[in-house]
DNA sequence: TTAATTTATGAAACCGCTTACATTTTGACG
DNA sequence: CGTCAAAATGTAAGCGGTTTCATAAATTAA
């Protein structure tokens, strides 16, 4: 038998295909004895239902996609990888299968959605509004992670950037720092902007003005960050603490400090953001604002599932709390 | 029109469904004018072919899966994430869609394969032989990455561990080091073993015996590695160079050195393995054996495609060369 | 024991596309 | 202009399930 079908099982077990079908998808609807007969026949034939045919008949595929809208490194960015792990765990536990693709291929994903293979999409990174509306017009459920789009009706899951910055800054303040500089990131509009604005805000609350010499923009690249940090540290009134917009940038700051012979945390305190795996590898270990990315991924999946289940009153934005992990660098 | 089908297009354009179908999947088979009529009708109706129905009729789904057989961190492990990116790029360019899941869910993946939704699987990490045979018995194409299984007929893609170790060791030797120790990994049987054995071999080739005090096993965890390294460095005849089985372990060694007040690379040279992103973040930057994981992923996809296309003479093992990236730590 | 009701099973249509085979069109050529 | 091979199109039978509705069997009530 090349590929046993439901008909083969039906014949061998002596019941109709309808009953075989039920035995597999709604066992409680078929009587014990009948069910056993069906399972036995299936066993003998090594039958297992063809999901494609099932999808066709049921008009649902049980597949969702995680699309990372980002140039270059996508999964290599720990942030997105961790979110992915969160999604993955929850998805499989909810009997959804997970497709994955990156920005480069987003047209492909739209195509996939159009062709009704995907029920929902989780968009990571800077998803263009156009993409969202296109997906929604295909009746695909959409959830946004780590990004916000004005004027669109869809759930999004974000981390509490503002609170994270507040935690970092107040900690530094509590340690007596007053000249706190920030190395802000550039490439990820939403997150970078949120962190930067929060920094200005929190500083202002404490009556500290941040002038041009207190902030530098740089790309998330160690060497570029190191250079920017070096410039900050070369100022006459150099900062005693630096907040990096993410851990890579903070690592750059540490490099710069080392090269200038500054001791950490005595001469300079450095705080990062994201609490990625590099934090503990650095010496001294990097104090960083922890973001529970895995949890964010799980929440995305929960929201998506709610959407797919047609639930009402799904929260528009879900904010995941941050936590400052104090380590040696500050 | 709720969901336009090929019939709607057929009716509106005045041609048969067969022709509509051809216009979409084999355009060269339908005359210019007819084709245009079909496309116009499709446009009007906002029709796009239903991939599920197509999969059903064609008996192929154009989907493959990447299954990471590993406890805990899967995509969070840069190694696997980079492979994934490689697969992803190539897959979408070959019109395959990529499903992803991890060890925890491998039963699920087998189920998915059984239900004929997946044409091929790329297995990363320590895939159990049982899993491979089960997949193969379902007529699913299988490719192994970064692992080898004896006695099974399937292509695998691996990096040249031995050569990588040789590059690292000969470099250290060329810098005058003789007491070279290794911090070997534990958790990833194939890779860890390969690196360890290669180390013994290369050392032996140079007439250097490695005794118990020259090797320590440890888990890929910075602190554990730091502790193991500390023990090595506390020996009366302490090593002047340490080769870490991977970058995390090497980072641990650097930590230990720092804590003991040793200078790098003067007092201790450290070399890592994998050339992950942390290398450049450390100060001094970590010399490491580069593995082109992305390329490995691409090669996996190439092999898988060859398998799916029924090609003959597909290489059993594909070895990806390594390259020593010399940086400040050695 | 029989009627009424509930539960289990079966027959058959349907999901939306592909494709083998039959038929019609087209265009080259004598 | 008729013939014939090649190219284009159409007809209809799948692909392998699910599900509605009708029917049969089991259970409960009377």
B324 domain residue, yes or no:
no
Strand order of the sheet with strand A215-218? Answer: A215-218, A180-185, A241-244, A269-274, A287-291, A322-325
pLDDT digits (tens, 9 = 90+) for B37-46: 999 999 999 9
User: A112-116 contacts: CB < 8 A, separation 24 or more?
Assistant: A112/A65, A112/B51, A112/B97, A113/A65, A113/A138, A113/A140, A114/A138, A114/B48, A115/B48, A115/B49, A115/B50, A115/B51, A115/B52, A115/B54, A116/A61, A116/B3, A116/B50, A116/B51, A116/B52
Averaged pLDDT score across all residues of chain B: 93
Show which residues sit with Cβ under 7 A of nucleic chain D. A 3-7, 17-18, 21-22, 24-25, 47, 49-50, 52-54, 56-58; B 14-19, 22, 29-31, 33-35, 53, 56-57, 59
Q: Do B116 and A92 touch (CB under 8 A)?
A: no
Q: Show residues of chain B in contact with A84, CB under 8 Å.
A: 75, 100
Residue-by-residue DSSP string for B23-83 = HHH-GGGS-HHHHHHHHHHHHHHT----HHHHHHHHT---EEEEEEE-SS-STTSHHHHHH
pLDDT of residue A102: 87
Residues A149 and A105 in one domain: yes
Probe site for chain B from A278, A281, A285, A292 (most B CB atoms < 10 A): A281
Strand order of the sheet with strand B215-218? Answer: B215-218, B180-185, B241-244, B269-274, B287-291, B322-325
pLDDT of residue A11: 94
Q: How far is the CA of B86 from the C1' of C15 (A)?
A: 36
Instruction: Determine the average pLDDT of the residues in A130-149.
Output: 91
Residues A286 and A173 in one domain: yes
CB B320 within 8 A of CB B288: no
Distance in angstroms between the alpha carbons of the first and the last residue of chain A = 68
Decide if pLDDT at A252 tops 70.
yes
Q: Show residues of chain B in contact with A252, CB under 8 Å.
A: 281
Q: Which of B50, B82, B258 lies at the smallest CB-CB distance from A283?
A: B258
B106 domain residue, yes or no:
yes
Domain edge (last residue) among A58, A73, A97: A58
Residues recorded for chain B: 330
From the CB of residue B34, how many other CB atoms can be counted at a distance below 10 Å? Answer: 16
Residues A278 and A188 in one domain: yes
Decide if pLDDT at A109 tops 60.
yes
Instruction: Determine the average pLDDT of the residues in B196-203.
Output: 94
pLDDT band at A330 (very low <50, low <70, confident <90, very high): confident
> What is the helix (H) or strand (E) element at residue B273, kind and residue range?
strand B269-274
Domain edge (last residue) among A22, A43, A58: A58
pLDDT digits (tens, 9 = 90+) for A28-80: 999 999 999 999 999 999 999 999 999 999 999 999 999 999 888 899 999 99
Q: Compare all CA atoms of chain A with the CA of B283 and give the residue at the minimum distance.
A: A255
Domain of B29: which CATH number? 1.10.260.40
Q: Do B61 and A52 touch (CB under 8 A)?
A: yes
Residues B125 and B178 in one domain: no
Residues B30 and B51 in one domain: yes
Instruction: Determine the average pLDDT of the residues in B296-316.
Output: 96
Chain C: positions less than 7 Å from a protein CB are: 7-20
Q: Do B100 and A102 touch (CB under 8 A)?
A: no
Q: Which residue, chain included where needed, has tokens 């969901």?
A: B3
Q: Is the dihedral of CA B198, B203, B204, B206 positive or negative?
A: positive
For residue A271, give the nearest of A249, A292, A238, A255 by alpha carbon: A249
Per-residue burial over A11-22, b if 16 or more Cβ lie within 10 Å, else e, is: ebbebeeebbbb
Domain span at residue A94 reads 63-158+294-320
A195 domain residue, yes or no:
yes
pLDDT digits (tens, 9 = 90+) for B135-178: 998 899 999 999 988 889 999 999 999 999 999 999 999 999 99
Q: What is the percent of chain B with per-residue pLDDT over 70, rounded to a whole number?
A: 98
B328 domain residue, yes or no:
no
Q: CA-CA distances (angstroms) from residue B25 to B14, B54, B284? A: 18, 10, 56
Alpha helices in chain B (DSSP H): 6-13, 17-25, 32-45, 51-58, 78-93, 106-114, 129-137, 161-174, 189-205, 222-233, 247-259, 293-308
Q: Which of A52, A98, A117 lies at the smallest CB-CB distance from B101?
A: A98
CB B124 within 8 A of CB B68: yes
Decide if pLDDT at B2 tops 90.
no
Longest C-alpha distance within chain B, in Å?
90
Q: How far is the CA of B100 from the C1' of D12 (A)?
A: 39
Report the C-alpha dihedral over residues A111, A117, A123, A124, rounded to 10 degrees: -100
pLDDT band at A245 (very low <50, low <70, confident <90, very high): very high
Q: How far is the CA of A22 from the C1' of C5 (A)?
A: 23
pLDDT of residue B111: 80
Overall number of domains in chain B: 3
Nearest residue, CA→C1' of D8? B30
At A30, list the tokens.
Answer: 């078929």
Q: Do A52 and B73 touch (CB under 8 A)?
A: no
Q: How far is the CA of A44 from the C1' of D14 (A)?
A: 26
Q: How far is the CA of A57 from the C1' of D19 (A)?
A: 9
Residues A154 and A299 in one domain: yes
pLDDT digits (tens, 9 = 90+) for A253-295: 999 999 999 999 999 999 999 999 999 999 899 999 999 999 9
B139 domain residue, yes or no:
yes
Q: Do B85 and A92 touch (CB under 8 A)?
A: no
pLDDT digits (tens, 9 = 90+) for B271-303: 999 999 999 999 899 999 999 999 999 999 999
Residue-by-residue DSSP string for A6-65 = HHHHHHHHTS-HHHHHHHHH-GGGS-HHHHHHHHHHHHHHT----HHHHHHHHT---EEE
Decide if pLDDT at A210 tops 60.
yes
CB A84 within 8 A of CB A299: no
Domain of A303: which CATH number? 3.40.50.2300
Report the C-alpha dihedral over residues B295, B296, B298, B300, rounded to 10 degrees: 170
A312 domain residue, yes or no:
yes
Q: Do A97 and B99 touch (CB under 8 A)?
A: yes
Q: Which residue, chain included where needed, has tokens 């705080």?
A: A271
Decide if pLDDT at A1 tops 60.
no
B329 domain residue, yes or no:
no
B1 domain residue, yes or no:
no
Residues A84 and A115 in one domain: yes
pLDDT of residue B294: 97
Residues A77 and A146 in one domain: yes
Residues B191 and B179 in one domain: yes
pLDDT digits (tens, 9 = 90+) for B77-135: 999 999 999 999 999 999 999 999 987 767 777 787 778 899 999 999 888 898 999 89
Q: Compare all CA atoms of chain B with the CA of A226 and give the residue at the minimum distance.
A: B281
CA-based nearest distance A77→chain B, Å = 9
Q: Do A56 and B61 touch (CB under 8 A)?
A: no
The packing angle between helices B17-25 and B32-45, to 10°, is 90
Residues B204 and B278 in one domain: yes
Instruction: Determine the average pLDDT of the residues in A311-329.
Output: 96
Residues B169 and B152 in one domain: no
Residues A282 and A178 in one domain: yes
pLDDT band at A251 (very low <50, low <70, confident <90, very high): very high
Ramachandran area for residue A243 (φ above 0: left; ψ -120 to 50: alpha; else beta): beta
Q: Which residues pair with B144 in a beta bridge?
A: B123, B156
Q: Which residues pair with A66 in a beta bridge?
A: A100, A122
């Amino acid at each position: 038998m090349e590929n046993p079908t439901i008909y083969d099982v039906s014949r061998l077990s002596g019941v109709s295909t309808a009953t075989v079908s039920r035995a597999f998808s709604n066992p409680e609807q078929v009587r014990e004895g009948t069910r056993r007969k069906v399972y036995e026949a299936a066993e003998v034939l090594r039958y297992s239902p063809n999901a494609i045919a099932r999808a066709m008949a049921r008009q649902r595929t049980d597949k969702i996609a995680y699309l990372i809208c980002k140039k270059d490194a996508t999964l290599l960015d720990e942030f997105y990888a961790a979110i992915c792990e969160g999604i993955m765990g929850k998805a499989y536990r909810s009997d959804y299968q997970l497709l994955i693709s990156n920005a480069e291929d987003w047209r492909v994903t739209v195509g996939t959605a159009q062709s009704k293979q995907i029920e929902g999409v989780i968009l990571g990174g800077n998803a263009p509004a156009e993409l969202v509306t296109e997906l929604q017009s295909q009746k695909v459920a959409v959830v946004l992670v780590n990004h916000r789009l004005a004027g669109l009706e869809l759930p999004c899951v974000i981390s509490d950037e503002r609170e994270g910055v507040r935690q970092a800054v107040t900690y530094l303040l509590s340690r007596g720092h007053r000249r706190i500089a920030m190395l802000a990131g550039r490439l990820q509009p939403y997150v970078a902007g949120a962190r930067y604005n929060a920094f200005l805000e929190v500083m202002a609350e404490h009556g500290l003005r941040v002038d041009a010499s207190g902030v530098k923009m740089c790309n998330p690249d160690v060497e570029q960050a190191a250079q920017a940090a070096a410039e900050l540290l070369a100022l006459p009134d150099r900062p005693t603490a630096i907040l990096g917009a993410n851990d890579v940038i903070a690592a750059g700051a540490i490099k710069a400090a080392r090269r200038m012979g500054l001791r950490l945390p005595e001469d300079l305190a450095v705080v990062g953001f994201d609490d990625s795996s590099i934090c503990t590898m650095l010496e001294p270990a990097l104090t960083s604002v922890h973001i529970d990315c895995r949890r964010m991924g799980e929440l995305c999946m929960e929201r998506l599932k709610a959407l797919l289940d047609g639930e009402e009153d799904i929260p528009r934005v879900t904010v995941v709390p941050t936590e400052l992990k104090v380590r040696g660098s500050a």
